[in-house]
Amino acid sequence: MFKQKDGKYQIECDGGCGAVNYTGQRSFHQARNVSSVENWEHRRPPNGKWRNYCPRCAEEANIDLELAGHSEPFRF
Is residue 76 one of the residues assigned to a domain? no
Is residue 44 one of the residues assigned to a domain? yes
Is residue 74 one of the residues assigned to a domain? no
The pTM is what?
0.71
Is residue 56 one of the residues assigned to a domain? yes
Is residue 75 one of the residues assigned to a domain? no
> How far apart (Å, rounded) are the C-alpha atoms in residues 46 and 31?
24
What is the extent of the structural domain holding 50?
A: 2-66
The total domain count for the chain is 1
Chain-centroid distance of CA 53 in Å reads: 4
Walk along the chain (76 residues) and give the pLDDT tens digit of each residue.
Answer: 899 999 999 999 998 899 999 999 999 999 999 999 999 999 887 777 888 999 999 888 766 665 433 344 434 4
Is residue 72 one of the residues assigned to a domain? no
DSSP letters spanning 12-68 = E-TTSS--EEEEEESSHHHHHHHHHHTT-EEE--TTS--EEE-HHHHHH--GGGG-T
